Each structure stands twice: as C-alpha cells, then as structure tokens.
C-alpha cells in the first residue's frame, strides 16, 4: 500500500483515540456494590453517586442555557428551532431524573 495514505490514516486514528474517554466510571460499580460491607465502603459509593449527580446537574444547567438561547433567538435557527428546543427539554428531563436517581442512591448508601 501507499505509505502516503497510511501515515495520515494512522495519525488521524491516534488523534481520535486520544479524544475517547477510556474509563467513564472510575470503579466497577457492580463489584463495588457487592463488596460494600463497611461504613467507609458505603461512604465511597455515596460520594461516587453524588459526584455523578453533580456532573448531571452541570449538564442540566448547560442545556437550560441552550434552551434559553433557542427560545430567545429562534429566528436564527429557522425550521430547526422547534426541534432544538424539544431536544433540549428532553435532555433536561433525562438529566434531572439522573440527578434525582443518583442523589437517592447516595442517600441510601449514607444510611447503610
């Protein structure tokens, strides 16, 4: 094969793989939950769920800002404005549910 094609191909693959998140969860949650026996174990799980809730809340805030922009400047987005607003509302609801679920799990582990 032509090396002029292979070099850019491998270079671009290397850049793309650098963007990928290699470990979205710092711990194996299934195993961590099964192994949790001490107060410290449950505290660590509660902290993990609270951190996840904070991340989801940041996404809620981000999409609320986007929704506000789409609503106040709908004319800039033409026919797609309705789709963009609906998409943001849907994501806001999903992320709010995730915040609630993670905080509920954190509360349960703190009570254990």
pLDDT at residue number 7: 53
Residue 40 pLDDT? 86
Q: Please give the model's pTM, rounded to 2 decimal places.
A: 0.69
The whole-angstrom separation of Cα 74 and Cα 88 is: 13
- Residues 53-89 pLDDT 10s: 999 999 999 999 999 999 999 999 999 999 999 999 9
- Angstrom CA distances, 13 to 5, 21, 77, stand at 13, 14, 33
- pLDDT exceeds 50 at position 32: yes
Written as six digits, the tokens of 66 are 């986007």
Q: What is the pLDDT of residues 12-29, one digit of tens each?
A: 445 444 444 444 455 677
Share of the chain above pLDDT 90, in %: 54
Q: Where are the alpha helices (DSSP H) in the chain?
A: 3-19, 29-35, 39-72, 81-111
Residue written as tokens 């981000």?
62
| Structural domain boundaries in the chain | 38-112
């Amino acid at each position: 094969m032509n090396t002029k094609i292979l070099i850019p191909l491998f270079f671009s693959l290397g850049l793309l793989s650098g963007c990928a998140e290699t470990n979205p969860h710092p711990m194996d949650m299934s195993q961590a939950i099964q192994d949790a026996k001490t107060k410290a174990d449950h505290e660590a799980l509660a902290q993990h769920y609270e951190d996840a809730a904070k991340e989801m809340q940041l996404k809620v805030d981000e999409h609320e800002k986007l929704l506000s922009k789409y609503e106040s400047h709908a004319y800039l987005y033409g026919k797609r404005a309705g789709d963009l607003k609906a998409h943001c509302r849907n994501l806001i609801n999903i992320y709010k549910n995730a915040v609630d679920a993670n905080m509920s799990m954190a509360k349960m582990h703190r009570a254990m």
